[in-house]
Structure 1
Amino acid sequence: MCTNLLVIGASARALAASADRLGLEVNAIDLFGDRDLRDVCSRVVQVSADAYPDDVPSIAAGFPAGPVVYAGGLENHIEVIEKLSRVRLLLGNHPRAVRLVRDPRFVREVACENGCAYPAIFFTSSKVPRDGTFLRKPTASIGGLGVVPWKGLREEPVRGREYWQQFVSGVPMSASLLVTQEGVELLGVCRQLIGMKWCYAK
Structure 2
Amino acid sequence: MSATAGHFAEPRARPGGGAPFVAVAGLSARILAQSAAHAGYQVAALDLFGDRDTRLYSKLWIDIGDIGAHGLSIDRGKLRAALERVARLPRLLGFVTGSGLEPHIDFLQNAALLPRLIGNDADATAAVRDPRRFFALLDELGIAHPDVAFERPERLDGWLRKLSDGCGGTHIRAAVNADADSSCYFQRISPGLSMSALFLAARREASIVGYAEQLCVASGALPYVHVGSLGPIDLPARVTEQIGFAVRSIASRANLRGLHSLDFLLDGDDVSVLEVNARPSSTMALYERASRDAWPRGLLAAHIDACVRDRLPAPRANAPMSAPTNMPMNAPSCRVAQQVVFAPEAFTATRRFSDALYVDPVCHDIPNAGTRIEAGQPVCTVLVTGDSRAALQRELQRHTQRLLQRIETCQEPSHESVDSHG
TM-score (norm 1): 0.84
Q: Out of 195, 214, 220, which is 1:173 matched to? A: 195
Q: CA RMSD in A?
A: 2.6
Equivalent residue number for residue 144 of structure 1: 169
Return the letter of the residue paired with 1:13. R
Tell me the SS of whatever aligns to 2:198: strand
Comparing 45-54 with 22-31, greater Cα deviation is found at: 45-54
Q: CA-to-partner distance for each residue in 1:152-195, whole Å, 9 max, x for gaps?
A: x43xx678611111111111101111111150111111111223
Equivalent residue number for residue 129 of structure 1: 155
CA contact (8 A) 1:81 1:95 kept: no
Q: Which runs of 4+ in 1 moved over 4 A?
A: 83-86, 157-160, 199-202
Whichever of the two has the greater Rg, that structure is 2
Call closer, same or farther: CA 1:96–1:55 in 2, change over 3 Å. farther
Tell me the SS of whatever aligns to 1:77: helix
Tell me the SS of whatever aligns to 1:143: coil
Tell me, in whole angstroms, the C-alpha distance in 1 between the residues paired with 2:49 and 2:182: 25
Q: Out of 96, 116, 125, which is 1:89 matched to? A: 116
Write out aligned runs for 1:112-123 (5 A).
Answer: 112-123=139-150
Unmatched segments (≥5 aa) in structure 2: 1-18, 68-73, 219-338, 343-375, 377-422
Return the letter of the residue paired with 1:115. G
Alignment length, in residue pairs? 194
Tell me, in whole angstroms, the C-alpha distance in 1 between the residues paired with 2:181 and 2:166: 9
Q: CA-to-partner distance for each residue in 1:28-55, whole Å, 9 max, x for gaps?
A: 1111111110000011112341771233
CA deviation after TM superposition for structure 1 residue 16, in Å: 0.6
Equivalent residue number for residue 22 of structure 1: 39
Tell me the SS of whatever aligns to 2:151: coil
Tell me, in whole angstroms, the C-alpha distance in 1 between the residues paired with 2:145 and 2:151: 18
Tell me the SS of whatever aligns to 2:35: helix
CA deviation after TM superposition for structure 1 residue 108, in Å: 1.2
Tell me, in whole angstroms, the C-alpha distance in 2 between the residues paired with 1:99 and 1:181: 18
Equivalent residue number for residue 131 of structure 2: 104
Tell me the SS of whatever aligns to 1:178: strand
Tell me, in whole angstroms, the C-alpha distance in 1 between the residues paired with 2:128 and 2:33: 24
Tell me, in whole angstroms, the C-alpha distance in 2 between the residues paired with 1:184 and 1:96: 18
Q: Out of 58, 64, 79, which is 1:56 matched to? A: 79
Return the letter of the residue paired with 1:142. C
Equivalent residue number for residue 21 of structure 2: 4
Equivalent residue number for residue 230 of structure 2: none
Equivalent residue number for residue 381 of structure 2: none
CA deviation after TM superposition for structure 1 residue 130, in Å: 2.2
Tell me the SS of whatever aligns to 2:32: helix
TM-score (norm 2): 0.42
Identity, % of aligned pairs? Answer: 29
